[in-house]
Structure 1
Amino acid sequence: MDARFLGIADLTETPSVAVVVDVMRAYTVAAWAFARGAEKIVLAESLDGALALKARHPEWVALKDGPPAAGFDMVNSPGMLRSVDLAGRTVVQKTTAGTVGALAVKDAELVLCAGFVVAEATARLLRARESDRVTFVVTGEDGKADEDLACAQYIAGRASGAGTDAAPFLRRAAESRAAAELAQGVRRGVHSDDVALCLELDRFPFAMVAASEDSLMVLRPYPVSPPAEEDHVRSP
């Protein structure tokens, strides 16, 4: 597999297959939202856009980075989200980097959003699709976030069929700037378990596929078959 690792600003053309990686914390939060029963996640282009969607759909759950704010129901924290019942709900998510990255490749044939919690399922889907060329969008720190790059490189290795050891990649993520800022309380809207939850490898058995629906970029969980059944996985 030909894997490219680019920051959002480095995307000069629309890739065929894109994997948008935000470990700390957008796509860890998204995975937890699905695990807590959410039907879909709408990726908002801006805070105002998220609030406008919430105003039109009061029953939707809106969340954002940083501290709590008027109009938003929650913040972008897996530690806080893991105890919330989201059964059948639609979530509107706006984050600093993760949602921006997904919207930057919205015209790709296949857009996957990922973190370590769905790494193996994401790799399996790429293998099942026989994706020869994949662009990994490293969303954090203008493409330099080591937790996102480490996760992207790990998924690329697994998607290529290599027996990739997760330990060094998880170590890099644990020692990243983002992990330190979350642990030290530099960032707001943080739960003490957030870093640990972001580093849980393969917590969930689904990949996450984003696609345009009624002019919105919508993320949904996509169950992936066990390895022995990979040949039978249908393309999303």
Structure 2
Amino acid sequence: VDLGGRTVVQKTTAGTVGALAVKEASLVLCASFVVAEATARLLRTNKSDSVTFVVTGEDGQADEDLACAQYIARRATEAGTDAAEFLRRAGESRAAAELTEGVRQGVHPDDVALCLELDRFPFAMVATLEDSLMVLRAAAVSSLTDEASI
């Protein structure tokens, strides 16, 4: 579906609630494997003193969310981190099994595979308050060639 020129409102079970819970933070990023490198790059270039990852699924215990957060955290400090183990954990998580088995409603057969497409998009997702709404916008992150020193 071409969504050009339209406003899209997305509601997730846990992600939206998590973003709203930290809306007062100086920088709020919503992340997944599909934007992992851009998110890690933004964290590297932002040089924050501390970063807090808010895992929202399963009351903060969702292994796919933990795996993604741990991968991005590692990529933010170690540019050569391999994603294989983190992707494996996410793909074998309870949520992935439920999606694959059709336990959850409103899923597409390719949902798990699409969620695990590492770095499909070259932008980070920055959430900001605009009036009374939390708005998520793509933030282009320039490709840094001198990251080998990280």
Q: TM-score, normalised by structure 2?
A: 0.95
Distance 1:98 1:141 in 2: 11
- In the TM superposition, residue 88 of structure 1 has moved relative to its aligned partner by 2.2
Distance 2:20 2:126 in 1: 13
Percentage of identical aligned residues: 82
User: 2:9 is paired with a residue of what secondary structure?
Assistant: strand
- Look up the match of 2:113: 196
**What pairs with 1:102-117 in structure 2 (closer than 5 Å)?**
102-117=19-34
Q: Per-residue displacement from partner, 1:37-57 (whole Å, max 9, x unpaired)?
A: xxxxxxxxxxxxxxxxxxxxx
**What pairs with 1:207-222 in structure 2 (closer than 5 Å)?**
207-222=124-139
- In the TM superposition, residue 228 of structure 1 has moved relative to its aligned partner by 2.2
Q: Which runs of 4+ in 1 moved over 6 A?
A: none
- Look up the match of 1:149: 66
Distance 1:90 1:229 in 2: 37
2:33 pairs with 1:122: no
Of Structure 1 and Structure 2, the greater strand share is in 1
- Look up the match of 1:96: 13
- In the TM superposition, residue 210 of structure 1 has moved relative to its aligned partner by 0.4
- Look up the match of 1:165: 82
- In the TM superposition, residue 92 of structure 1 has moved relative to its aligned partner by 1.1
**Count of matched residue positions in the alignment of Structure 1 and Structure 2:** 147
Q: TM-score, normalised by structure 1?
A: 0.61
Show structure 2 runs of 5+ residues with no match: none
- In the TM superposition, residue 227 of structure 1 has moved relative to its aligned partner by 1.9
Q: CA RMSD in A?
A: 1.2
- The change in CA–CA distance for 1:222 and 1:229 in structure 2 (over 3 A counts) is farther
